[in-house]
Structure 1
Amino acid sequence: MMFRRIALVACGAAAFALAACDPPLEPADAPATKGSVNTANLPEGFSNDLQDDVSGYYRPTTEVRQASWRLDHVFLGQQQDFAAWEGGTREGQFAPVMLEFVDESSATVQTENGEIHTGRVRVLPRFYSVENGMLRFVGVSEEIGIVQLDAQLNDEALATARRNLGAEGAVMNGTLSLGDAPPQAVGFRWWAGD
């Protein structure tokens, strides 16, 4: 009798435990782990209607970061870079639109330009559109997750900055999303590079 009572209690407890379980996660609902990003609904493709040279480095006017990763710059290439990429030529870690981040927890080395962090990642485009002065970019990074930028170029401010070989004021303004964080407002100044 005692054995029967224990067996009934055990079966009841097991049935109760099973009833309380949540159904298993579907693949689309599964939480992303580091290195895995759900890219199913992200746009793909590349287009531009550039008439003028907008090439250069666009550095944020205020600090933009996710954990130890700080946005160093947005790079825009020359018209021939856009044409080559859109024509199917893809070489190494270069694209006509890309964002570069610096890991500020990484080791530093001394260079002719000062001390720099060795940890860097370039986020290449899965999608970009540069049309009517509006830059739209979507890329994916194992370290940062999904990176989305929507920004409007200011033609007059950009022309002035290019004439002066740089300027402190913003020549591009918009929003940037990093990983799961909400979009944040960001401005960029133009820089010719070293």
Structure 2
Amino acid sequence: MTKRIIPLIMCGGAGTRLWPASREVRPKQFLPLFGKRSTFQDTLLRVSDADLFDRPVIITNAAYRFTVREQLAEIGIDADVLLEPMRRDSGPAIAAGSAFAQTRDSEAVVLALAADHVVRDTGAFLAACREGLAAAESGRIVTFGVEPERPATEYGYIKPGGIVTGQVRAIEKFVEKPDQATAA
């Protein structure tokens, strides 16, 4: 496998969900909530295997540009940093980052990641990325799902379809933030 994935790390947000620890000037992805590094730094380190991943692209807003550069330097990782002119949620950030990735590689395979996710099993994550890359190289759009631990109305659900290869499955259906009865 010679193709590498370009990690696209979304690093915006308003910093309001974990107030008072998280504030607009320093949102949760920059805080060391689960160890000595921030979740942003942990995300970067998770995609630092140069055999599998290319240089990351960070999407953030101008208010966080210095924090992003400081935290990159602390862990010795270089990245392209794109600044959003205004907050517009994930869709536009992914579109802009993907368009930029195509300027580096017209056949880029992009992995969109949130900077505040916690992944406890890095080996499983990397294995999923390898399988996802193989599926993407065969022309598929790949999405990652996590098996839910409980019914939740704040998340969308992927109903898996047939096996494509290995652990990769087609998607039969996606349900966006269902009501409580549907989630159950």
Larger Rg: 1
Fold match by TM threshold 0.5? no
Which protein is richer in strand relative to its size?
1
Structure number with the bigger relative contact order (C-alpha 8 A, sep ≥ 6) is 2
TM bracket, shorter-chain basis:
under 0.3
